[in-house]
Structures are given as C-alpha cells and as structure tokens.
Structure 1
Amino acid sequence: MSELPNGWAKACIGDLADLNPKQAFDDETVAGFVPMSHAPTTFRDKLRFDERPWGEIKKAYTNFKDGDVIFAKVTPCFENGKAAFVDGLPNGVGAGSSEFFVLRPCCDGVSAKYLLALVKSYDFLRGGAENMTGAVGLRRVPKQFVESYLVPVPPAAEQTRITAKLDELLAQVDTLKARIDGIPALLKRFRQSILAEAVSGRLTEEWRGKYADFNVTTIGKVCAVSTGKTPKRGQAEYWEDGDIPWITSALTGTKFCSGAEQFVTKLALKDCTLKLYKPGTLLMAMYGEGKTRGQVTELKIEATCNQACAAISVNETLAKKDFIKIRLQENYEEIRKQAVGGAQPNLNLEKVREITICLPSMEEQTEIVRRVEQLFTLADQLETKVKMAKSHIKHLTQSILAKTFRGELVSQDPNDEPASVLLERIKAQRAATPKAERGRRVATPS
C-alpha cells in the first residue's frame, strides 16, 4: 500500500466491521428475502427483495439488516461485483443466499458505503479471486481473506465526504452509461430508415429529379430462386474429407459468408444433385425462430447449401445484386410474417419469389447502393466508437474508486479527527463487548 494521506490509517476489514454477525428477530416479522439474482453488479443499483416471514428464512440463509453491506463470495458472482448497500428492507431486516458475506460497520465512524466501495474495487476483487478455495465452479473467497484484508481508513468525516462524492460522480457515470446504451437501438432504427428510404426512392429523389420511373416486379422475375439439400448423415462418403462448403441458415447472420463450418464431398454433390452456387449469390434463411428466419447473407465463396436456405441468384442485366440485397434486408420483418406452419413456421421458395420490388433505372440502383453503403459505413463507425465508449465507462468507475483509496477524491481537512483515534476507540469498544453480542438486535413487527 502506498503512502497514506494525512489523517489516514491502516486497518483490516475485520477491525472495521463484523463479518456475518448473528441477529434475532420475531418469527412473524416481515423481512426481505434476497436471492443472489436480486443482488446488483453496479455500485448504485438498489437491492431487490421479496417479502417473507422472518421465521421462514432465518436459519438456512445469510442474515442482514439495513445499514449492512452484502457481497457474493462464490465464483463468478464475486468477480462480477455482486454487492450492495442494504437499505429499505421491510422492518429493516432480511436474509438471502448463503453465498453472501455480510459486513456490518462496528460503529458510526465507519461508513458502510465506504466499505461497499472497497468490495467493489479492482484490487479487492482481484485479490479475492486469487485467494479463492474449493472445487472448480464452486470456488469461494475465504472468510480469512476478507477479515485480514488491509484497508486505507480515512477520518470518519472524510468518509462521509467521500461517499457523497461517490454518489455524485457515479450517478453521472450511470447517466452517461444509460445514454450510451441507448445508441445501438438508435443506430438500428437509423439503418432501417435508410433501407426504407432507399427502396421507396426517397433517398435519391433529389438526385433523380421530379419524375420517377419504377418497374414494380417480384424477386422471382429478376432472380433465379432455388435451395439445397442435406446429404444423408449415415453416408460417410458424403461427408468424410469433404472440401465443398455446405452452408446452413445459421451462417446467414452476417453481411457476407466467407467460410463454412461443414463440408461435403464431390460424390455428395453428384448423388444428391446439389447445386453449387457462385460468389455473389444471396442466401436467405427460410427456417428458424429467433432472428434467423429472413436473414440474408452474400456468398463470397463457391458453395452449396441445405434446404433451410433460399439461394437467390440475381440476373444482373435486369437488376443490381446489391440493390436486391438492400430490398431483402429492408423487408426482413415482412418476410418473417410470410412464414407458414405450426410450431415452427417456415418460408418456402414460392413465398421468396413473390416478394415485390420497385426497380428504378440501373443508374439509380447504382446511386442508391452507393448512398446506402456510405451511410451504413457512418453507422458502423459510430458503433465502433460506442463500443470503445462502453469500455471507457467500465474503467471509469474503477478509476474513481482507485482515487477514493488514494485520498484523491475529496480534499483532506486538518480539523478532522485522525483515523488513528477512531481505530483506538473501536478497539476499546470491542474489548468491552463480547464478540457474540456484537450486532445483535431483537425486533418486533411495527
């Protein structure tokens, strides 16, 4: 630990707080029950709870009350920073997962929120992870590590200033994070609006002039639409040592398809009459729930496909392949609605062929593609910056916490009672109070 600021001292967590103190309440008292899933990972999020009678939860679970700090001791919840300041419980009492540690400040001179900042800090999380014991998947931070962990202790008055400043700064971080988190949805709507403007002709209205010359047609009239097959899995000669890419609908989620996860042999291509599609062929997923059905990718390799894909080969004397791709991407939601069937609705080739398209001149198609690519590139650049900003925000919280424990977050006041005096007082109070009695409290329903 580096040199301490004036008025600060060093102490172990066990000198400042009681770890998992015992407590007693009337069985009928309404209490807050906190499973691990209800514990937040961010500094300022509130602890969620369900209401239960104290008698139902007092024995098998970790006990705590308002004013305590709880944090996970088991992997991966510990490393994820699941921890909270306990506040607002029914009757001020609660219990939760047996995988929680509880810290109860031993006196008013120790700030619970300062302790929360400590257990959220990078150094504490790293040290706890390095000292975990137990089997893989069930590793836990030992009680000894927590109690003996050395802490820089500010004067009590400075702890109050620190926690107030933390609330202020981390509230700003949360606001910034919320705004950044909202940008991907905005970019998604931006891209969809660009696609809609493109296929309607509005994107190039000024470029084109007043009069539009659109030919309303269908995909089937400007493209060859077919599908593939799945060679019998039991026929080893169709699959072993195959070198022909065989594409499934799972690979339609990207703009381009440059590789395959599975390969078939030349014998499979011949026996199963599989079609080999050229680079530039568009593949649309016809099956699948979630996001898959309706997705479109473009082959960058020569490949065949299974029956879950519609292979769309554009006649480029009639339409630009990239313009057709724009229309299929823009029509994604409508395409999905055309699926038929029971538990797993699917598209079929006829449905794909019937997709309508308004074709402008070849020159305008070229201009539309150019403008869409230009605007999408801008959106991609913004998306990259958003990812970088998210990473910076994640590190920003830890940077603020690091300043806290170096004494750099607020100014020191020479009139503050030194932390050494506080620690001596705590030591004397503890010596006068049996360990079994610390933190105990009996409550009755209000």
Structure 2
Amino acid sequence: MITDKSSLSWLNLKLGDVIDYGKTFKAEPCDLTDDTWVLELEDIEKDSSKLLQRLTFSERKSKSTKNRFEAGDVLYGKLRPYLNKVVLADSNGVSTTEIVPVKASKNLDNRFLFYWLKHPEFLAYVTEVGYGVNMPRLGTKDGLAAPFILAPLAEQREIADRLDTLLAQVDTLKGRLDALPATLKRFRQSVLAAAVSGKLTEEWRGLAEYSEDGYPSNWEKKGFSDIGELARGKSKHRPRNDPRLFGGDYPFVQTGEIANSNGRISSANKFYSEFGLSQSRLFPAGTLCITIAANIADTSILNIDACFPDSIVGFTPDSEICDAQFIKYLVDTNKENLERFAPATAQKNINLKVLNKLRLPIPLHEEQTEIVRRVEQLFAFANQVEQRVKEAQGRVNNLTQSILAKAFRGKLTAEWREQHPELISGENSASALLARIQAERAAQAPIKRTRKKKASA
C-alpha cells in the first residue's frame, strides 16, 4: 500500500481498528426541532463533497427515522458508494440512514479520515464489496474491514492542511473551467445575433446605413415562400406505427435526431419503404429541417435525401436567392419567439401558418455566403476551445485523485518528516498512537455485566 520507504512508520490497518463504522444514534421525527439540519444524499454532489442544498426539518417535513450527527463528524454516503459522497459536518444535525456518521477520536484527525474515505484505494475497495445489484451499499462488516492507513497524529494534521490548500486550488480551477462552456454558449449566441443583424459583415459590406427595424437598409424582408419551399413531412393521418411504412431504403429522420445532430444530418436510424414514401415525400439534401412539435424550432440541414414525420417541416431554399445555412441562423435566433406561439399544452407545437408569417431579413446572396463563412470560422474556433476545456476538465477531475494518492503515499510530507523527526517517532509514532486509540476505545466500551453464580448449599 505504502511504497515510499520514508513512510514505513505508517501502519496499514483496517478501518474498524480505529473507528466504529456503522455505530449510529437514531432520531425520530418527534425528537427534532424545526431548525434541525436534515441531510439527504441528494444534497451532496458526487466526488466534490459540495453541499448542493441545506434544508431544515421544517422545510423537509421528514417522517422517517434519521441518524444523528455532530459538528466534526465525517458523513459517509454508504448507498452507491462509488458516487463518493462524503462531507465533514460543520454543525449538528440528522441524516438519512443511508449516510453513516463517523466520529473520529481525539487521536485521529477528522480531516485525515475524511480524505482517506475519498482516496482511490478506498473507493476501489467499496466498489468491489458493495452489496446489492442496482443499489449497492457498504455494509457494516465490510466497512469495518476496509483498508486504512494510520500516520502519526502531527503528520495527519500536516497532510490534512496541505490537502485543504491544494484541493481548494483544484476546486477554484475546476470552477473556472466549468464556467467556460456557458461563456462559449453566450459567445455563439452573440456571433449569431451579429450575423443576422448585419453587424458581423458591416465592414465587409461597406454600407453602415440601417433601417428603422435595425437591419441594413439593403436587406429585404421576405417570407419563406419568397425564397424557397416550406413543406410538412409525412401525412399525419396515417398511424405512425403502421408496419408498412418501414423496412425500405429511404432514410427517415425523427424529431430527436434534429436536436442531437449538431447542425447536420448525414445518416438515419430508420428507413421508409416504398409504401412509406407514398405517404410522405423525399426531401433533397440541402433541405433545412425545422421541428414544430415538442422542442420547437430545433434545426438541422440534410446532407442526405430523407423523409421525416409531420412534427418536422422542411425548407428547400431557392439556391439563387438564399443559403440554407444562413436561413438556419435566422430560425435559430428566433427560437424563443417561435416557442411563444406554441399553446400551453402537454405537447407543444406550432403550425406552418406561424412559420409562413415570419418576415426574414435577407441580404444579397453574396453577403449571405460571407456571413456563413465568418460564422463557421468563429464557431470552429469556439469548438476548438470547447474541446480543450473538456480535456482540461478531465485532467482536473483526475488531479484530485492523483493528489490524494500522493498524500497517502507520504509524498506531500516527505520533507516535513525530515524536518520534524521528533513528531513521528517514540511517543508520537503511529504505533504509539494506535495504542492510545485502542485504550480510548476500550475505556468507552460498555462494561459487560455477568451474573454471579449462587453458592451451592
């Protein structure tokens, strides 16, 4: 377990040698006050140990038996332990019985214990021994038999201090990385807004005059019918599950595929038969698909000829007037406006009449081409940044486990041990510490009473 020779004074133990894992004190709802903190597993973010919310008994209205805990206790989520839900209690409260409060003795630093329960070796152990297929738990017997490393008390505190500092820095870095996708989303939205308003190509156009509605004065307002053909997909009158519709060679694109296509559709999961095609129409590659049910105004452009259901409409552009990609930008920026036209029903939808009423600001074809080129260039840059962010997030997520692994191999405190030999030897050694822990636990153990045998007559 410990490979660093300078750490050989540490002891490889079982968790049950130092704490009473599984020993809990119960609380019934009638025992709680309105301001009692009630902790549930859903309140803890996996891996990070962050509290997502903090609710009181008056807010939760819990009716089940709970486990009591005190400030300083390590709270371990035993249900699905691979989720790594562990927190340090900063005040008294109660928790679901799926959280085990672990009390560290005065001879064991609670932060050291907290970090060990998040250590990759401990995680690997609980993942392996957890019982239950769908909802595995770390049982009391396996918890007591879990591995534990005991370092001298002064070194425990030094390790915990250093982990507090290092992992706080990791959390800060992770927070900044996690905020970048939202920033990139706003960047893309700004690019689209500038594109469809003429701001993106203002210098290229060389015409800075704008009409009263905020668009370049040489852009014309046109409807879909002025710049191409807008048509519904399959006839809605035939049952969608009619087996005669499928089994042929004609790609059939579904609503969900539009949202998940990343803007382009090059393949399909289902195929229409000749009969299916007779009930629908085959839209050519280059058609802009627009959803009009469920998720309103999701868009994608076909790279293949395809059919689709009546929940999607297809816009086939007049190539001499407009570029399908530019029209996609216009619909994308109007998504929220189009959603407002959907009735407040369980299945939101709009109809062709709504789309046909739209008046779209259309520049000359040459400017559309330039707009598309610039947007794609800026989006490609954003995509590269996003990919690097994802890679960095993966490295940062692994960094926490790497730091914990180094800490419990003695790597973080190697120099400290050389400078403070008196704090890790003799009465301050791990062996002496274990003896004190055992004496402390023995003193706290209840005295077993035995009946005196009656004297024989």
TM-score (norm. length: structure 1) = 0.87
Aligned partner of 2:73: which letter?
D
Which residue of structure 1 lines up, in the alignment, with residue 436 of structure 2?
425
- Equivalent-residue separation in structure 2 for 1:81 and 1:131 (angstroms): 15
- Whether the 8 Å contact between 2:221 and 2:359 is mirrored in structure 1 is yes
Q: Give the match's secondary structure for 1:10.
A: strand
1:10-159 correspondence runs (5 A): 10-23=12-25, 28=31, 30=33, 31-43=36-48, 45-46=50-51, 49-52=54-57, 60-75=65-80, 78-89=81-92, 94-105=93-104, 107-134=105-132, 136-159=133-156
> Which deviations, in whole Å up to 9, do the C-alpha atoms of 1:312-368 show, x marking residues without a partner?
000011112222222222222222223346444422112212222222222211111
Q: CA deviation at 1:29?
A: 6.0
CA 316–414 in structure 1, closer or farther in 2 if over 3 Å, else same: same
Q: CA deviation at 1:225?
A: 0.3
- Equivalent-residue separation in structure 2 for 1:328 and 1:399 (angstroms): 46
CA 47–282 in structure 1, closer or farther in 2 if over 3 Å, else same: closer
- Equivalent-residue separation in structure 2 for 1:58 and 1:214 (angstroms): 65
- Whether the 8 Å contact between 1:7 and 1:414 is mirrored in structure 2 is no
Aligned: 1:227 with 2:235: no
Which residue of structure 2 lines up, in the alignment, with residue 443 of structure 1?
none
CA 304–210 in structure 1, closer or farther in 2 if over 3 Å, else same: same
- Whether the 8 Å contact between 2:301 and 2:324 is mirrored in structure 1 is no
Q: CA deviation at 1:58?
A: 11
CA 58–423 in structure 1, closer or farther in 2 if over 3 Å, else same: farther
What is the number of residues matched between the two proteins?
421
Q: CA deviation at 1:37?
A: 1.7
- Whether the 8 Å contact between 2:82 and 2:123 is mirrored in structure 1 is yes
Which residue of structure 1 lines up, in the alignment, with residue 357 of structure 2?
354
Which residue of structure 1 lines up, in the alignment, with residue 269 of structure 2?
261
Aligned partner of 2:405: which letter?
A
Q: Give the match's secondary structure for 1:275.
A: coil
Q: Give the match's secondary structure for 1:415.
A: helix
Aligned: 1:171 with 2:176: no
- Equivalent-residue separation in structure 2 for 1:198 and 1:47 (angstroms): 39
> Which deviations, in whole Å up to 9, do the C-alpha atoms of 1:240-264 show, x marking residues without a partner?
x232222232221121112223322
- Whether the 8 Å contact between 2:27 and 2:67 is mirrored in structure 1 is no
Which piece of structure 1 moves more, 359-368 or 332-341? 332-341
Aligned partner of 1:426: which letter?
I
Which piece of structure 1 moves more, 246-255 or 187-196? 246-255
- Provide the aligned C-alpha RMSD in A: 2.6
Q: Give the match's secondary structure for 1:358.
A: strand
Q: CA deviation at 1:380?
A: 0.6
Q: CA deviation at 1:407?
A: 1.1
- Whether the 8 Å contact between 1:57 and 1:95 is mirrored in structure 2 is no
CA 426–295 in structure 1, closer or farther in 2 if over 3 Å, else same: same
Which residue of structure 1 lines up, in the alignment, with residue 181 of structure 2?
184
CA 414–345 in structure 1, closer or farther in 2 if over 3 Å, else same: same
Which residue of structure 2 lines up, in the alignment, with residue 440 of structure 1?
none
Q: Tell me, which stretches of 5 or more residues in structure 1 are unaligned? A: 438-446
Q: Tell me, which stretches of 5 or more residues in structure 2 are unaligned? A: 209-215, 449-457
CA 314–18 in structure 1, closer or farther in 2 if over 3 Å, else same: same
CA 206–435 in structure 1, closer or farther in 2 if over 3 Å, else same: farther
Aligned: 1:377 with 2:374: no
Q: Percent identical across equivalent pairs?
A: 32
Q: Give the match's secondary structure for 1:202.
A: coil
- Equivalent-residue separation in structure 1 for 2:447 and 2:403 (angstroms): 37
Aligned partner of 1:171: which letter?
A
TM-score (norm. length: structure 2) = 0.85
- Whether the 8 Å contact between 2:122 and 2:147 is mirrored in structure 1 is no
Q: CA deviation at 1:284?
A: 0.2
- Whether the 8 Å contact between 1:47 and 1:84 is mirrored in structure 2 is no
Q: CA deviation at 1:307?
A: 1.0
Q: Give the match's secondary structure for 2:149.
A: strand
- Whether the 8 Å contact between 2:112 and 2:160 is mirrored in structure 1 is yes
- Equivalent-residue separation in structure 2 for 1:47 and 1:372 (angstroms): 38
